[in-house]
Amino acid sequence: MNSAPLLVTDPRLDREAERITLSARIDEHRLFWTMPDRASIALRGEPFVCALLVSAMRTGRSLVLPEQLSLDPAFHASLEELQVIFARWFAGLRPVTVEAALSARHGATGRFTGYSGGVDSSYTVLRLLDRLDGVVLVDGIEYQEANVPLMREVDDTLAATMAARGLPLLTVQTNAKWIGKATGGKWSQFIGGSLASAPHALGVAEYSIASSNAWEKLRPYGSHPITDPRWSSASTSILHHGCEALRVEKISALRSAPDLLAAIRVCFQGTAYNCGTCHKCLQTAAGLRAVGLESPALPVLRDPTRLRSIEVEHDGDLIDWEELLTPAVHASDPALAGELSRLLRRYHLRQAARRLDEVATGGWLRRLVTRT
């Protein structure tokens, strides 16, 4: 554990053309959000706490903000309970103090949701369309390496899709994910705070984060219906939306929204809009096949045995795949159901072998195989 406080210093608001950058120095790095200039954007501390709190908890460093970066009292008050939940969920996290001046924020405006083109966010846009004033694309939380031409294509495609529905797309560029990792955090634990940092930076009144899983599939995760709303302040309400539907049900709902289906983007490889071969692409292609849909943005999964090229890596992936294997898929597409069952069975067998190794050899065999 690092006993030195995690200091946020040199906060700045820099305007250039029609874009504005909120930033501050964190250790030897600079954390920033660059976004369209809005009257509601202000020098505030909430975005920085959202992005850094879990990293501070992992490293045991108190989080200290300068006087210019004050926190809304309601936001500050919720941090104690939020930290208790994360500390109970994730080994290695412990509550830390957050030192900041307190003052109410005024002038937050608009109702927005995050929209990346993925299944979850497309479903949320579809369901909340009548109450939205716009959508937010956060650039900097998906690809491991920056790909400016690809992000420009993504931005143009998604902006055009939303414009046809009468909604503006606000693109926020940030290094919150990179800074979170650089300061000791794990993405699966601070993803919710990172997502919540963008609406606080923009100064929006209401922001919906699309759910990852349905109610019956929930597990401890950084973005969760219990924790996401606790990133709210008195002026910015953070909501969690979509737990009423399994992923395959969300895909099926897009049958009524061919424009959203045509713009679907799920790939994190950073090589193409959708590479068509990674686990996210194949998983979504399997979901489309399961409900009898196709998207021009993604190759059709005509041969379900292609799923044998991938492995379920962890319990989070397991849940995503399990959500595709419904009784309806068993009945309508035995070939796909068989491959999905095979994929899940391989994961369970590996986990059983790991548990057996832990009991029999204390994990020696797994460590030997890993070294080999």
pLDDT digits (tens), the chain, 372 positions: 667 999 999 999 999 989 999 999 999 999 999 999 999 999 999 999 999 999 999 999 999 999 999 999 999 999 999 999 999 999 999 999 999 999 999 999 999 999 999 999 999 999 999 999 999 999 988 766 678 899 999 999 999 999 999 999 999 999 999 999 999 999 999 999 999 999 999 999 999 999 999 999 999 999 999 999 999 999 999 999 999 999 999 999 999 999 999 999 999 888 999 999 999 999 999 999 999 999 999 999 999 999 999 988 888 889 999 989 989 999 999 999 999 999 999 999 988 888 887 888 887 777 777 777
Q: What is the structure's pLDDT at 11?
A: 98
Residue entry with tokens 């294509």: 153
Whole-angstrom distance, CA of residue 20 vs CA of residue 37: 5
Among 81, 83, 209, 76, residue whose Cα is nearest residue 138:
209
Biggest CA–CA distance in the chain, Å, is 64
**Cα pseudo-dihedral 201, 151, 133, 53, rounded to 10:** -30
Question: What H or E segment, with its residue span, contains residue 23?
Answer: strand 19-26
**Residues near 11 by beta carbon (within 8 Å), at least 6 away in sequence:** 22, 23, 24, 43, 66, 68, 69
Decide: helix, strand or coil at residue 11.
Answer: strand
Q: What is the structure's pLDDT at 313?
A: 86
Whole-angstrom distance, CA of residue 306 vs CA of residue 138: 31
Residue entry with tokens 């909430």: 46
Long-range contact pairs involving 27-30 (C-beta distance under 8 Å, separation at least 24) = 27/182, 27/183, 29/175, 29/179, 29/182, 29/183
Q: What is the structure's pLDDT at 314?
A: 84
Strand 206-210, strand 237-241: pairing: parallel
Q: What is the pTM of this model?
A: 0.93
